[in-house]
Amino acid sequence: MSEKYFLKHIDRPESNTLAFYLQQGGYRTWKRVLQEKSPEQIIEEVKRSGLRGRGGAGFPTGLKWSFVPRQSASPKYLVCNADESEPGTFKDRYLIEREPHLLLEGMAMAAYAIDSRQAFIYIRGEFAYGAQTLERAIHEATEAGLLGKNIQASGYDLQITVHRGAGAYICGEETGLLESLEGKRGWPRLKPPFPATKGAFGCPTVVNNVETLVNLPVILSLGADRYAAIGSNEKNTGPKLYCLSGHVNRPGLYEFPLGKNLQELIYQEAGGIRKGKKLKAVIPGGSSVPVLRADEIDVAMDFDALVSRGSMLGSAGVIVMDEDTCMVKALLNLATFYSHESCGQCTPCREGTMWMKKILSRIEHGQGRPEDLPLLEDIARHIQGRTICPLGDAAAMPAASFLKQFRQEFIEHIEQKKCPHSK
């Protein structure tokens, strides 16, 4: 049983109060950091810890911070990306609702490190309770002198503002998020310029995921070396939340060091497949990453091992599908999601996602043609890498991988002119 950093209070409903958090030793690291460490030292420490962004891309956090110009005439902003909307992912929601002070403490450290005096939490519109919880936590922490003006007489000010989204998946993309934060339509921006130089309101900005930020108090209390010892190797360090959903006996949120074996996660921790069925497929990192077949799951859940297996860690939203699952229908479900959530700004994604959905719907309903499979692959290939933001890739990758891994099922649908799984 490895030590828990994020889920240790899962059975304590009062875990989101300041009183409880302080009682557990919360904010002690923040106060110490304010007194003892310079922003440069924090960045250095985070770099040494090997922390990689938990939003999906796995970009080294310390490195991301170091792109922000040290001297800047304009204000700098820290933005917490709490727009968790990736299907199969529910880790940030837990942290927001149950460990808001851990998030605030992490944000304070990140903001201090990049010298930001104003931070935003962009929270998914549907998380109404989470937004309320955060507002209350910010109020409590400010009253206690842990945020706000002249924190702990250090001369450092930090205001944290909660901004609720309006229900678009695309606003989880960091530049789409910034547009939305500015009050505009959530259309991702062309990069460069990257947010580190020109982000919110044209000012240098760091956008970090909720789970990334809650790692900071852990790093700074344990020290970079002890933190880096957690995980599968020096490039994949720290504790990690895994979201298990689908046909497992015990779906839910699990915490293990980064690099937990996927097979163990499903069969030992989550109690295996429901009703004793056989496993068919696993999407290991939220709906946008390539799917794995049942024989491919003996793999470490970290950024690099999954890439070498042809998939990605993504948000670690593990979606488990048993032998009864119709893979055409599953892909149709995903394609419907992405065509619905495509922002429509750039051509391949706007047109291609809906086209794929229409073709898949035909195949699922027994009207597929043999030439539809190469056509689907073509469309996916034409979307991938040619869009402004990664949503295009996110829509194309599952399509390409489902077709590669489970092609026979698609052929069966076309040959039998119906879905073999439908009753």
Interface residue list for other proteins (CB under 8 A): 168, 185, 190, 339-355, 358-359, 362, 369, 375, 378, 382, 385-388
Q: How far is the CB of 386 from other proteins (least distance, A)?
A: 6
For the bound state, the minimum distance from the C-beta of residue 79 to other proteins, rounded and expressed in Å, comes to 22
Q: Which is nearer to other proteins, 196 or 388 (CB)?
A: 388
Q: How many residues does the chain have?
A: 423
**How far is it, in rounded angstroms, from Cα 85 to Cα 106?**
21
Distance in Å, CB of 149 to other proteins, minimum: 38
Taking CA 338 as the corner, what is the angle to CA 351 and CA 90, rounded to the nearest 5 degrees? 165
How far apart CA 376 and CA 368 sit, in angstroms, is 11
Rounded to a whole number of angstroms, the minimum distance from the CB of residue 415 to other proteins is: 18
| φ/ψ (deg, to 5) at 50 | 80, 15
| Closer residue to other proteins (CB): 105 or 393 | 393
Cβ distance to other proteins smaller for residue 48 or 381: 381
Contacts of 378 (CB under 8 A, 6+ apart): none
Q: How far is CA 109 from CA 39, 282, 296, in A?
A: 9, 36, 39
Closer Cβ to other proteins, 271 or 385, answer by number: 385
Alpha-carbon distance of 306 to 317, in angstroms, equals: 13
Quote the least distance from Cβ 182 to other proteins, whole Å: 14
Which amino acid is residue 420, in one-letter code? P
The interaxial angle of helices 39-49 and 210-222, nearest 10 deg, is: 100
User: Which CB sits closer to other proteins, 73 or 190?
Assistant: 190
CB of 396 to other proteins, least distance (A): 12
Please tell me the distance from the alpha carbon of residue 297 to that of residue 309, in angstroms, as a whole number.
Answer: 9
Nearer to other proteins, 272 or 344 (CB): 344
Residue type, 277: K
Q: Which residue has the tokens 């460990």?
A: 99
